[in-house]
Amino acid sequence: MSPLPVANGVRLTRQRQVVLDTLGTMRTHPEAMQVFHAVRERMPNISLATVYRTLGVLRDAGLVREFVTHDGPRRYDATPGEHFHLACRSCGRLVDVELPEAAFLGRRAAEVTLFSDIEVSQVELTGICPECAAPSGG
């Protein structure tokens, strides 16, 4: 039998593949429970604990991103590339924003403090999305 595929040092068991794969198709920045439900459609016996453990493993390996919003549980995405999150204060919808200039903040912080190796680990923006801003009926 061929050995399990490996990515970033983690052995991709069948359940890990399904979790990674499923998350890859979701564009809603789901929380663990939502990932669990989506994954269950493809693999009805997978346990919640495995989904939690797997998300942690994949996060440690850098294969998925885990982040917190101001309230609510942790959320996940498998979107490649540096990006930040913009949440609608009215409906809660979360979208990705690419902001290359955010790296600039890290450099500025290094100048102001004595910290080294500074990374911009999370930027959370809030605003009002087009749907919520539009008068409801037109």
Partner DNA sequence: TTTTATGCAAATCGTTTGCATCAGG
Partner DNA sequence: CCTGATGCAAACGATTTGCATAAAA
Binding stretches for a second copy (CB under 8 A): 66-70, 84, 86, 88-89, 95, 97-99, 101-102, 104-106, 108-110, 112-130, 133
Residue 62 CB contacts under 8 Å (≥ 6 apart), including other chains:
8
Joined tokens for residue 119:
């990374």
Q: Which is nearer to a second copy, 62 or 127 (CB)?
A: 127
Residue 49 touching DNA (CB under 7 A): yes
Cα 91 to Cα 39: distance, rounded to the nearest angstrom: 25
Minimum distance of a second copy from residue 96's CB (angstroms): 9
Smallest separation, CB 32 to a second copy (Å) = 14
Element (H, E) at 103: helix 103-112
